[in-house]
Chains A and B, each alone.
Chain A
Amino acid sequence: MSRDLIIQAIVSGLLMGLIYALVAVGLSLIFGLMEIVNFAHGEFLMLAMFTTFWFWALGGLDPLFSLPLVAAILALAGIAVHFGIIRRLLKAPMLAQVCGTFGLGVALRAGAQFLWTPDFRTVTNPLIAGRVQIGPIFIGQPQLVAGIICLMSFVALWLFVTRTETGLGLQATAQDRQAAAVMGIPTERMSALGWATGLGCVGIAGSMLSTFYYIFPEVGVNFALLAFVAVALGGFGSILGSLVAGVLIGLIESLGGLLLDPSYKTLIVFGLYLAVVIVRPHGLFGRF
């Protein structure tokens, strides 16, 4: 195993990990705010990817330009989901909460398959294409740009949550909803904001993924599983945790695929999930 191959795997794992992280942080935010695990998370990623695809295929809009649009659409979807569905689910027992979002995911997946067939799509010749060579390593430009944008999004999210009044309101609601309400924070709106932000992140990730990944109805399933593991590893409710965990999972997946049979990646990830929740249930940085 050449040293170059390993470095190559590390770099691509890192970049992919940043995308996993951005997907995971949405999940983490939502759980931190209202203790609901969004089992339809992967399907929203898939929808973001398809939205990007259709903007490109029908409107000729390059993913780089449709990025803000897709993010906005997903954010709006988040608000709609919160007010339309989640608010009711919050009153139901946990069984209903889990099954509810699970059912939503199934319906979205099947709906996509019905509307757009299970065929794989790609965004051919996007604006950002080709490879960059750094030393002995080749990095796909789309992957590099995706990684950078995801990292920037993380920074923006971090600043938003820690430096703005609204962001602090989000944190307060996540930590103690009752206390936040008593202090005059509009907790209902905070929850909606959490969904908007969470799905907005998914929108960015999906948009970037479309530039180099296959787009098909089942694509969200694996990303969701990896996101669950990332959130469990990083700690539900922790932004930094999602980042670290996402990157770690990207690395493990990449190196694992290199050293072992790539088709057993899910098993490796599952083993990792088990190890984490048993050994350290709160994850690296989490509160739950």
Chain B
Amino acid sequence: MPGDHARMLEAARGERLWPRAPLWMVALGAAGSVLLLAYPFIFKASFSHHMMILILLYALMAQSWNVVAGFSGQISLGHAIFFGIGAYSSTVLFAKYGLTPWAGLLVGMLLSALAAVAIGVPTLRLRGHYFAIATLLIGSSVQIVFQRWDWVGAASGLYVPIDRTSPWFYLQFHTSKVPYYYLALAAAAAGYLLVWKLRRSRFGFRLQALRDEPEAAASLGIAIARHKVLAFMISAAMMSVAGTFYGQYVLVLDPERLFSVEISILVLLMTVLGGSGTLWGPALGAAVLVPLSEYSRIWFGGTGRTIDLIIYGILILLVCMWRPSGILSLFEERIRRRAGVTP
């Protein structure tokens, strides 16, 4: 027996630290990357650029929700607030003080992270349902505040000042959407790279541990509150980045839209549908739902938003009832389980 054991141990130690992605997946990834990089030159229509920009931004937002809900198990039903904070921070600083939106981007991230701390410290220690309710209340409250706050334009919102002289400095492009596309791609890529590194890091594992069994996690030396708040902060900052870019893209901020339940629902749905706790689930969800939402707007016109919501609501319900771990969970599991697993 001991000899067997020693040999098995040696063999196990020699194994790769992380499972190797199957060849087909690597090939798919390579092809996908090439496609994404060349996209604006393959599909030249402005509408297709618009679509991809939204997909990329939502993919980033959904991943943000994934960090806090999929990886650390905290269900946020009001995630739109960080999106709005990001958009408003950069726009207000630009409109009132002429600060370049790039700086505004960083300020937005900081403010969102601070908001996450302010909200998270008192509420993250609550049980799941209580926290979810708190996020609902916060989401509602923040929307009301922004709709009444005159300094940021109250219910009429804010316009991002137009400046055609220096597009990269002012982060606005008027002749073509292509720069927006690459910016969105860069942002999304950064976000996904972050999560990719995170989930195999010490922090990432400890997060997942406290998500699944908080007591066992505590008994293994994991400071629960600190980890949850940190995850919340990272999530908030990611959402804020998307918000800033969105603001610079649409050039008008409407508090009813930015802090809307619709956005909170969308990021939730995308991740749950694609697979919460997976790396690519949020992207898959975004890739499915953004086109759905855009086309429903085209087909149904004004009532498109309402029909969207009906579909989203039913979809969330169905996914939660029949396949709560989402589409990609099965795939990722198969990959994590290598060859030679004993039944």
Q: Which of A10-18, A127-135, A175-183, A273-281 contacts B (4 or more CB under 8 A)?
A: A273-281
A124: interface (CB < 8 Å): no
Q: What separation, in Å, do the CA atoms of A270 and B22 have in the docked complex?
A: 49
B316: interface (CB < 8 Å): yes
Are B313 and A105 in contact (CB-based, < 8 A)?
yes
Q: What separation, in Å, do the CA atoms of A259 and B333 have in the docked complex?
A: 57
Q: What separation, in Å, do the CA atoms of A31 and B129 have in the docked complex?
A: 10
**Which chain B residues numbered 256 to 274 have a C-beta less than 8 Å away from chain A?**
261, 265, 268-269, 272
B303: interface (CB < 8 Å): yes
Are A100 and B310 in contact (CB-based, < 8 A)?
no
Interface 1/0 per residue, B121-134 and A, CB below 8 Å: 01100111110111
Given that A97-B320, A114-B307, A267-B145 are contacting pairs, would A106 and B261 also be in contact in the complex, using a CB cutoff of 8 Å?
Answer: yes
Q: Which of A44-52, A85-93, A161-169, A243-251 contacts B (4 or more CB under 8 A)?
A: A85-93
Q: What separation, in Å, do the CA atoms of A288 and B126 have in the docked complex?
A: 11
A152: interface (CB < 8 Å): no
Chain A residues whose CB sits within 8 angstroms of the CB of B314 once the complex forms = 103, 107
Chain A residues whose CB sits within 8 angstroms of the CB of B272 once the complex forms = 95-96, 99
Contact of B75 among A98, A107, A109 (CB under 8 A): A98
**Which chain A residues numbered 211 to 270 have a C-beta less than 8 Å away from chain B?**
221, 225, 228-229, 232, 263-264, 266-267, 269-270
B220: interface (CB < 8 Å): no
A145: interface (CB < 8 Å): no
Q: What separation, in Å, do the CA atoms of A93 and B259 have in the docked complex?
A: 28
Chain A residues whose CB sits within 8 angstroms of the CB of B130 once the complex forms = 232, 277, 281
Are B75 and A103 in contact (CB-based, < 8 A)?
no
Are A273 and B137 in contact (CB-based, < 8 A)?
yes
Chain B residues whose CB sits within 8 angstroms of the CB of A264 once the complex forms = 144
B99: interface (CB < 8 Å): no
Contact of A263 among B134, B148, B319 (CB under 8 A): B148
Are B317 and A267 in contact (CB-based, < 8 A)?
no
Q: What separation, in Å, do the CA atoms of A98 and B127 have in the docked complex?
A: 12
A57: interface (CB < 8 Å): no
Q: What separation, in Å, do the CA atoms of A274 and B137 have in the docked complex?
A: 10
Q: What separation, in Å, do the CA atoms of A228 and B78 have in the docked complex?
A: 15
Are A225 and B320 in contact (CB-based, < 8 A)?
no
Are A100 and B321 in contact (CB-based, < 8 A)?
yes
Given that A85-B321, A89-B320 are contacting pairs, would A277 and B313 also be in contact in the complex, using a CB cutoff of 8 Å?
Answer: no
Least Cβ distance of A78 to chain B in Å?
16
19 inter-chain pairs at a CB distance below 8 angstroms, sorted by A residue, are A39-B77, A89-B320, A94-B73, A94-B129, A95-B69, A95-B324, A99-B272, A100-B316, A102-B77, A102-B132, A102-B316, A103-B269, A107-B310, A107-B313, A110-B308, A267-B141, A269-B137, A277-B134, A281-B130
The 5 A-B residue pairs with the shortest CB-CB distance, nearest first, are A107-B313, A103-B316, A96-B324, A110-B309, A100-B320
B residues contacting A by CB (< 8 A) are 69, 73, 75, 77, 122-123, 126-130, 132-134, 136-138, 140-141, 144-145, 148, 261, 265, 268-269, 272, 276, 303, 306-310, 312-317, 319-322, 324
